């Protein structure tokens, strides 16, 4: 695939979008035993087009688990209606809040004036109960985005929907069918109860904890001495290698286009068609690993922006990220779309099929990931410390992991300091990172751009499946701002998992000063993850240009996963004046792992 070519150009005329029409028949395509009655109650997402939109936020009865619950929805739909805009057009969105609490809508990934960004306290005061706020802005970009409430926990309870923007110029990505695939997580619990439970017992939802049986297996496998040595660091640090997700399938039902796994979402296609799937992760707390067994996916856009096509079998989608993929499934069978939760406690499920009567085989879940020493960002010195009993013996799993991480480091440690190649600055832990609010600091965080991440690392070796990594992302177009960064802001993502406290540089939002950017400047953000969770970091209002090792084609993203114990760098052109939110998009981290970025 050469750069800058319109790939996938197809002679067939593009058909009318058929999104949504298939959801009603989802039940018929599958013979799951307990088809819940929820589709009757929750409308499938309608499509709204044009330049004027009325969106009404209200309560809505839903039933995803057999129990009736009250959701918050837009126009009575969960997910919210798909908004179809055209690049270059001015859109007006009148959002009315019928809830008894303040509400808001944030247009995620949209480049727009700060007072249209929908973040209460920064962009505006929020939408009071009974009030209407009129959003109006010119659509500057094209691609797949989404929108959600930025108030309370309303996103968790249903206020999220897709935005699809048709480009002003002919779309370089041609397809015959075009579907939005919006992934999310639903809980019957009140999200504030979930948050309270995590504060009281942070492992509350983890039902895959390490047990005596695991340790016994390891002893049988490796002997007492080696097992003890491997357990030592974890035990001393009081951390668990099974701590993958804070909130799990123990309370979540994972949804694909608002459909439970029992219902399944259905997308239709005909023989020979190219199908564009616009994946959006609108979950509150769940990273998903997506694949369509036996179907190659060609990723053509990341976070709405076109990239050089890359063909893969699996991809991880962080909370708030979007990926557009093109698939050409074989026509004689139905294909499963499976989005496994990162901790494998559940999945969202759908099917691509030429015929609603065809059933797809359900794919098996991959094994639950187990964290390694490399995910703590340990430096070599500490590693040696840890194996002090036999310092020269680096055999066994730990040694292997170390080799692996060192290898990754060498492969992806760019650190040239030039635009597109990452930072060459030293990692510094500020004084504020020391205290009861921070339980860990990565001593030697590395770029892990070519690391698929926990639970996906052995896929190539074990199953012959290629997994998308950030190293694969190259902008389809030239980097618009070729300037070198004038300065660098290094921020550390910090937390105390046991106390369930999250912060940046050890300081939570409530106590933090804004980050000041000078209008027009080009700078680099380097994020260091001093925790063992993946944090999808979202900067509002400006692109985050992820440095993946090609200064000419830096991909533009709005949300970037920072892997545990690693670092990531991206460039920002401060071309939008005002007050912007910058935060981890995991809902229960966001409250405190949050900064105001002020461009003056």
Query: Which residues bind to other proteins, rule: CB under 8 A?
Result: 102, 104, 119-122, 126, 150-153, 192, 195-196, 199-201, 204, 207-213, 235-238, 435-439, 496, 498-499, 501, 508-511, 581, 583, 590-592, 594
Give the span between the Cα atoms of 268 and 25, in whole angstroms: 10
Q: Which two tokens stand for residue 508?
A: 């939570």
Give the span between the Cα atoms of 283 and 301, in whole angstroms: 20
Using alpha carbons, select from 139, 103, 100 the residue that is nearest to residue 118.
Answer: 103
Complex with other proteins: residue 179 or 588, whichever CB lies closer: 588
Shortest Å, Cβ 314 to other proteins? 27
Shortest Å, Cβ 176 to other proteins? 41
Shortest Å, Cβ 553 to other proteins? 33
Shortest Å, Cβ 149 to other proteins? 10
Shortest Å, Cβ 71 to other proteins? 18
Shortest Å, Cβ 591 to other proteins? 3
Shortest Å, Cβ 163 to other proteins? 20
For 118, 160, 516, 518, 553, the CA distances from 115, given in Å and listed in that order, are 7, 20, 18, 19, 31
Residue 18 DSSP SS3? coil
Give the span between the Cα atoms of 78 and 257, in whole angstroms: 8
Give the span between the Cα atoms of 294 and 313, in whole angstroms: 8
Shortest Å, Cβ 121 to other proteins? 5
Q: Tokens 């023989």 — which residue?
A: 271
Give the span between the Cα atoms of 151 and 590, in whole angstroms: 11
The HSE-up count of residue 568 (CA atoms within 13 Å, CB side) is 27
Q: Can you count the helices (H) and strands (E) in the chain?
A: 8, 32
Contact 480, 555 (CB under 8 A): no
Shortest Å, Cβ 380 to other proteins? 22
Complex with other proteins: residue 238 or 487, whichever CB lies closer: 238
Complex with other proteins: residue 33 or 436, whichever CB lies closer: 436
SS3 letters across 279-334: EEECCCCCCEEEECCCCCEEEEEECCEEEEEEEECEEEECCCCEEEEEECCCCCCC
Give the span between the Cα atoms of 536 and 302, in whole angstroms: 14
Complex with other proteins: residue 138 or 211, whichever CB lies closer: 211
Q: DSSP per residue over 461-495, as a string? A: HHH---B--GGG--BSS--S--PPPSEEEEEEEEE
Complex with other proteins: residue 232 or 359, whichever CB lies closer: 232
Mention every residue, 6+ apart, whose C-beta is less than 8 A from residue 43: 76, 77, 78
Shortest Å, Cβ 376 to other proteins? 14
Contact 530, 568 (CB under 8 A): no
Complex with other proteins: residue 209 or 385, whichever CB lies closer: 209
Complex with other proteins: residue 426 or 510, whichever CB lies closer: 510
Shortest Å, Cβ 510 to other proteins? 3
What b/e readout covers 474-511, taking b as 16+ CB neighbours within 10 angstroms?
A: bbbbebeeeeebeeebbbbbbbbbeebbbbbbbbbbee
Burial of 390 (0-12, 13-18, 19+ CB in 10 A): exposed
Burial of 211 (0-12, 13-18, 19+ CB in 10 A): exposed
Complex with other proteins: residue 219 or 591, whichever CB lies closer: 591
Complex with other proteins: residue 129 or 482, whichever CB lies closer: 129
Pairing of strands 288-291, 335-341: antiparallel
Using alpha carbons, select from 178, 59, 199, 160 the residue that is nearest to residue 498.
Answer: 199
Shortest Å, Cβ 205 to other proteins? 9
Give the span between the Cα atoms of 187 and 391, in whole angstroms: 48
Complex with other proteins: residue 71 or 590, whichever CB lies closer: 590
Q: Tokens 């300037």 — which residue?
A: 483
SS3 letters across 513-540: CCEEECCCCEEEEEEEECCCCCEEEEEC
Shortest Å, Cβ 160 to other proteins? 16
Complex with other proteins: residue 359 or 499, whichever CB lies closer: 499
Q: Tokens 């962080």 — which residue?
A: 318
Complex with other proteins: residue 222 or 499, whichever CB lies closer: 499
DSSP letter assigned to residue 541:
S
Shortest Å, Cβ 457 to other proteins? 25
Shortest Å, Cβ 36 to other proteins? 23
Contact 593, 493 (CB under 8 A): yes
Contact 599, 576 (CB under 8 A): yes
């Amino acid at each position: 695939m050469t750069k800058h070519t319109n790939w996938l150009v197809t002679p067939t005329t593009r058909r009318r979008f058929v999104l949504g029409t298939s959801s009603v028949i989802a039940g018929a395509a599958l013979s799951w035993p307990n088809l819940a009655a929820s589709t009757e109650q929750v409308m499938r997402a309608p499509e709204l087009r044009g330049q004027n939109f009325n969106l009404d936020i209200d309560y809505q009865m839903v039933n995803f688990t057999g129990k009736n619950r009250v959701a918050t929805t837009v126009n009575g739909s969960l997910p919210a209606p798909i908004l179809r805009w055209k690049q270059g057009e001015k859109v007006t969105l009148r959002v009315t809040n019928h809830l008894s609490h303040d509400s808001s809508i944030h247009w995620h990934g949209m480049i727009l004036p700060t007072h249209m960004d929908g973040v209460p306290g920064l962009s505006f005061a929020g939408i009071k109960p009974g009030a209407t706020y009129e959003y109006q802005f010119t659509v500057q970009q094209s691609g797949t985005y989404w929108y959600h409430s930025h108030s309370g926990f309303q996103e968790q309870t249903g206020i999220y929907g897709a935005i699809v923007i048709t480009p002003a110029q002919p779309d370089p990505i041609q397809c015959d069918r075009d579907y939005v695939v919006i992934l999310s997580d639903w809980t019957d619990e009140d999200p504030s109860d979930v948050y309270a439970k995590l504060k009281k017992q942070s492992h509350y939802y983890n039902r895959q904890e390490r047990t005596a049986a695991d340790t016994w297996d390891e002893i049988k496998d490796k002997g007492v001495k080696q097992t003890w040595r491997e357990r030592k660091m974890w035990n001393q640090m009081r951390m668990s290698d099974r701590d993958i997700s804070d909130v799990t399938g123990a309370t979540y039902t994972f949804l694909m286009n608002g459909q439970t796994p029992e219902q399944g979402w259905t997308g239709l296609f005909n023989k020979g068609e190219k199908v564009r799937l616009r994946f959006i992760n609108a979950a509150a707390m769940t990273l998903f690993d997506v694949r369509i067994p036996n179907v190659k996916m060609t990723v053509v856009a990341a976070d709405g922006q076109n990239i050089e096509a890359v063909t893969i079998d699996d991809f991880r989608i962080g909370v708030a990220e979007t990926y557009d993929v093109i698939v050409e499934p074989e026509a004689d069978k139905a294909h499963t779309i499976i989005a496994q939760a990162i901790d494998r406690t559940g999945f969202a499920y759908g099917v691509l099929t030429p015929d609603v009567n065809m059933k797809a085989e359900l794919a098996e879940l991959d094994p639950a990931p187990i964290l390694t020493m490399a995910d703590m960002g340990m430096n070599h010195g500490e590693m040696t410390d840890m194996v002090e009993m036999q310092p020269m013996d680096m055999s066994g799993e730990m040694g292997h992991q170390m080799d692996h991480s060192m290898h990754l480091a060498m492969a992806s440690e760019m650190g040239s300091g030039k635009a597109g190649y990452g930072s060459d600055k030293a990692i510094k832990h500020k004084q504020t990172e020391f205290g009861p609010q921070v339980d860990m600091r990565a001593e030697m965080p590395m770029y892990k751009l070519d690391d698929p991440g926990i639970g996906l690392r052995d896929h190539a070796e074990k199953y012959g499946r290629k997994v998308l990594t950030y190293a694969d992302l190259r902008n389809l177009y030239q980097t618009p701002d070729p300037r070198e960064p004038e300065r660098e802001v290094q921020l550390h993502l910090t937390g105390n998992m046991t106390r369930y406290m999250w912060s940046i540089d050890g300081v939570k939002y409530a106590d933090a000063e804004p980050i000041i950017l000078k209008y027009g400047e080009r700078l680099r953000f380097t994020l260091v993850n001093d925790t063992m969770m993946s944090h999808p970091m979202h900067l509002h209002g400006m692109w985050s240009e992820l440095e993946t090792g090609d200064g000419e084609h830096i991909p533009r993203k709005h949300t970037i996963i920072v892997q545990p114990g690693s670092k990531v760098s991206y460039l920002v052109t401060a071309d939008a004046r005002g007050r912007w939110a910058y935060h981890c998009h995991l809902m229960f981290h966001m409250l405190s792992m949050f900064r105001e970025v002020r461009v003056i």
